[in-house]
Structure 1
């Protein structure tokens, strides 16, 4: 059954510019193993940042937030830990790396057995070090470019760098599926960019790649279309007057209860974002009317103060998309989607 996951970032295809842009501003990151191990737990039950309000942390660690940790140590769930790390690291821009690291450490304390926590925090420290090392790697001019050859060079360089931080077991557990996804995407890129192939030959080779996909990879590639279909079904039900409980039951049947709960949380987040934008646009309109005769600099300062009082720095960068006219926001998604 389809598992609802966050959109996958494929390093080989997207490049590493996002890493450099996001991470170079946080040199205060607590990335050593000892630093991570000594961090205090965060506050359970309170949204870490506004963009994560009404969401549930990714990563099935066997214990949901707020429940008692499992007593049996067991092996580390590497893939789920990486999903948990990435969930919190999506808050970069709203919080510092140090604060995010502390929040992750607190979640690990709440959801893992005492025997698992040191190894999980060690893995977190290595993951942060790896992320920061990617910034330096991205600066290498020989890795620039968007064609298939440059993309493969970046992918190989990233995998080589990764091996300096993680064991073979950790690499397979954390990145195994991601590597399969990247290799499949890269193979398709090479076919599409091969000038020696005719359109028919390209179609045949792409079909062969489709046929050779694993079930898990095929499900991952189908996920966006499935989610779009579910969204269209939800819109149709709402147009017929269905309740949110009706929407949840439909999603639970088509996907699974966990995915239905996540989509319901995203609905609440989107609704809250739209409400905030509507309130801001109303306040902005009143301010501009009150400041109609003020000097431009004074008016801009008042607008900046209004924005700072209602939005985080990361959210403020998105406001320009909504400011020209109020109707723009009606079909928009919240920044966390």
Structure 2
């Protein structure tokens, strides 16, 4: 059975760097900010920022195969630390970088051994400085462009920049899969944009790339298709009158219990959202009827007040898709 991987963050390195361009505070590499006493990993119901409500941090070190052995030594699980850092860094724009750094440090305090903690904090500080350096890298005119050559040049430049911050071991641990993923994507883009290849030759070369993929990358690419197939099965079962418990058991069999639980949570969130939208549209209709003789500005103000009373700013941006 395919293990459903945690979602890959939608940030590429350049996108992250641009997002960080507004940061005004940066920790010193040798002395990252201390954790707030009593800090604990974020859990559902106690989100660090509103957009993280209903989620848990990536890089759950204690739940990963072999993680306990790593935690018992001074060795760092680099890939999972990067996932943890990126999870919290997705809060940029909702929280200051100082608050984010302190939250990460508090999480590290809870998860890692005393031997690991100083090195992990040092790695966090370097990672933040690396992101800032990416901003300057992206400003270089020789790296501009959207063609495959420019994309490959930027990728190589970012890899070279990493070597200025991280050791070979750290680089491999934190970025090996990311490099594998990006190199594969660029290779596919080169094939698709190659005017010297006909359709049959492109198909042949893409098939060769498929065959040469690592098992981990193949699993990552296959996961969305597997999930779509499972969700089609769930829709069929619901149409036949199956219960949510039946759906959970099917998903657990096709994927795994953890993935089934995550998908069930998505179902609950979607159901709750649809219920909120239905209630809002009903109240909106009543408000417009009551405000039929009011001035346009008064109706708009009343609608805005209704929206603000029921939805946060991110949710309000989605309302136009549901309004008649």
Q: Taking structure 1 as the reference length, what is the TM-score of the superposition?
A: 0.81
Distance in 1 between residues matched to 2:30 and 2:277, nearest whole Å: 41
In the TM superposition, residue 227 of structure 1 has moved relative to its aligned partner by 1.2
Matches within 5 A, 1:62-141: 62=62, 72-141=72-141
Moved over 4 A (4+): 28-33, 42-45
Matches within 5 A, 1:1-337: 1-7=2-8, 9=10, 11=12, 16-17=14-15, 19-20=17-18, 22-28=19-25, 34-40=31-37, 41=39, 45=43, 46-62=46-62, 72-322=72-322, 324-325=323-324
Task: Give secondary structure in 2 for the equivalent of 1:5.
Answer: coil
Moved more, 150-159 or 138-147: 138-147
8 A Cα contact 2:47 2:54, kept in partner: yes
Task: Give secondary structure in 1 for the equivalent of 2:59.
Answer: coil
Distance in 2 between residues matched to 1:303 and 1:133, nearest whole Å: 44
Distance in 2 between residues matched to 1:146 and 1:169, nearest whole Å: 31
Distance in 1 between residues matched to 2:269 and 2:26, nearest whole Å: 28
In the TM superposition, residue 83 of structure 1 has moved relative to its aligned partner by 1.6
Higher RCO (CA-CA < 8 Å; seq separation 6+): 1
8 A Cα contact 1:42 1:102, kept in partner: no
1:156-184 deviation per Cα after TM superposition (whole angstroms, max 9, x unaligned): 12212222222211111111011011111
Distance in 2 between residues matched to 1:24 and 1:197, nearest whole Å: 40
Distance in 2 between residues matched to 1:141 and 1:303, nearest whole Å: 46
- Unmatched 5+ residue regions in structure 1? 326-337
Q: 1:310 to 1:29 in 2, by over 3 A?
A: farther
Q: Taking structure 2 as the reference length, what is the TM-score of the superposition?
A: 0.84
Q: 1:301 to 1:243 in 2, by over 3 A?
A: same
In the TM superposition, residue 147 of structure 1 has moved relative to its aligned partner by 1.4
In the TM superposition, residue 26 of structure 1 has moved relative to its aligned partner by 4.1
- Unmatched 5+ residue regions in structure 2? none
Match of 1:328 in 2: none
8 A Cα contact 1:93 1:313, kept in partner: no
Distance in 1 between residues matched to 2:276 and 2:101, nearest whole Å: 28
Distance in 2 between residues matched to 1:6 and 1:177, nearest whole Å: 14
8 A Cα contact 1:57 1:84, kept in partner: yes
